Amino acid sequence: MKKRILGNSLEVSALGLGCMAMSYAYGPAGDKQEMIALLRAAVERGITFFDTAEVYGPYSNEELLGEALAPFRDQVVIATKFGIQIDPNGQQIVDSNPERIRQSVEGSLKRLKIEAIDLYYQHRVDPNVPIEEVAGTIKALIQEGKVKHFGLSEAGVKTIRRAHAVQAVTAVQSEYSLWWRRPEEELIPTLEELGIGFVPFSPLGKGFLTGAINENTQFDSSDFRNIVPRFTPEARKANQRLVELLIEVAANKLATPAQIALSWLLAQKSWIVPIPGTKKLERLDENNAAANVELTVDELQEINAKASRITVQGDRYPEALEKRTGL
């Protein structure tokens, strides 16, 4: 697996592994022993970058990674997140008060069985806590040796600049793929200017860009895609045009639609590190192979030209969740 650098200093595999779905959000959690085997298989295949959060599960995803990756601690980079808590009614609330951050870091260190968090993201911007205060808290945790690198998730460019002025931001995580390209407007140019790495989540459009989902697909009742406007049957039917484009390119490259979607992302900037998620070994291998698919300048231009003529239907989040993002 090829390597890339986030924020001028953090070396990771060119593709990481998003681990949320192993415990949360995309249907039933995976079998624990099978997920441990999958995580260890990822390490054996050269993946060194693993993404989790305290709220995934909640808490069980960090525990899973802690157990699975313990034998490989010196070989891997583990990213986790703070800033979303679960209230007594089971609802998620944004909370980045310094005291809460310190509680979160101690819990994550314990669950992950590590002495320092490699990359610690604020999961969502807290409008009630100045970002300078958040960045200052992380700066102190870095000085104390409990955190190595600071990250932000779904933050707007003004917030990123303010945070970066207090404590250097190593990476920003946001959704980015052929069917969500808003980061190209302001975010990517800002990250390039500041020397901050970019970690796209949902690089396969929450599974849609693999070609395995159509308007007739039935999701498990616990799958959050059931409430996503972009995943209504009507939107899925309309958005097949984008999948058809990927299938067309994939056929010419002897690749799969998922591999073309990932290789397109990798070709955008040398400091972009997508984190596709999966619960299946065959999908892991398919995604990893994307790092070896080279799209030519002409092929990239063709993809962009054809994709620009496709209007993706449906919002990426329900309105209440979209309001929590800084984009």
For residue 244, the domain's CATH number is 3.20.20.100
Q: How many angstroms separate the CA atoms of 97 and 129, rounded?
A: 6
Q: How many angstroms separate the CA atoms of 9 and 124, rounded?
A: 24
* Number of separate domains in the chain: 1
Question: What is residue 87's predicted lDDT score, i.e. its pLDDT?
Answer: 87
CB burial class (10 A; 0-12, 13-18, 19+) of residue 319? exposed
193: tokens are: 């200017």
Question: What is residue 88's predicted lDDT score, i.e. its pLDDT?
Answer: 86
Q: Comparing 72 with 326, which gets the higher pLDDT?
A: 72
Catalytic residue chosen out of the listed positions 26, 56, 120, 176: 56
Q: How many angstroms separate the CA atoms of 242 and 310, rounded?
A: 7
The pLDDT mean for the chain works out to 96
Contacts of 169 (CB under 8 A, 6+ apart): 7, 150, 151, 152, 160, 163, 194, 196
Sign of CA dihedral 31, 37, 40, 42: negative
Residue 317: pLDDT band with limits 50, 70, 90: confident
Does residue 107 lie in a domain region? yes
Cβ neighbours of 205 (radius 10 Å): 24
Question: What is residue 48's predicted lDDT score, i.e. its pLDDT?
Answer: 98
Q: Specify whether the CB–CB gap between 201 and 273 falls below 8 A.
A: no
Does residue 255 lie in a domain region? yes
Q: Which of 150, 189, 194 is nearest to 173 (CA)?
A: 150
Q: What is the pLDDT of residues 275-286, one digit of tens each?
A: 999 999 999 999
Q: Specify whether the CB–CB gap between 18 and 211 falls below 8 A.
A: no
C-alpha distances (whole Å) from 265 to each of 4, 35, 108, 260, 317 are 13, 26, 30, 9, 21
Contacts of 76 (CB under 8 A, 6+ apart): 43, 48, 49, 50, 69
Our CA dihedral for 96, 152, 42, 295, rounded to 10 degrees, sits at: 160
* Domain membership of residue 130 as a residue range: 3-322
Q: Is 56 a catalytic residue?
A: yes
Q: How many angstroms separate the CA atoms of 9 and 148, rounded?
A: 11
Q: How many angstroms separate the CA atoms of 222 and 55, rounded?
A: 16
Question: What is residue 136's predicted lDDT score, i.e. its pLDDT?
Answer: 98
92: tokens are: 């998620």
Q: What is the pLDDT of residues 206-243, one digit of tens each?
A: 999 999 999 999 999 999 999 999 999 999 999 999 99
Question: What is residue 319's predicted lDDT score, i.e. its pLDDT?
Answer: 78
Does residue 327 lie in a domain region? no
Question: What is residue 133's predicted lDDT score, i.e. its pLDDT?
Answer: 98
Q: Specify whether the CB–CB gap between 23 and 61 falls below 8 A.
A: yes
Q: What is the pLDDT of residues 244-271, one digit of tens each?
A: 999 999 999 999 999 999 999 999 999 9
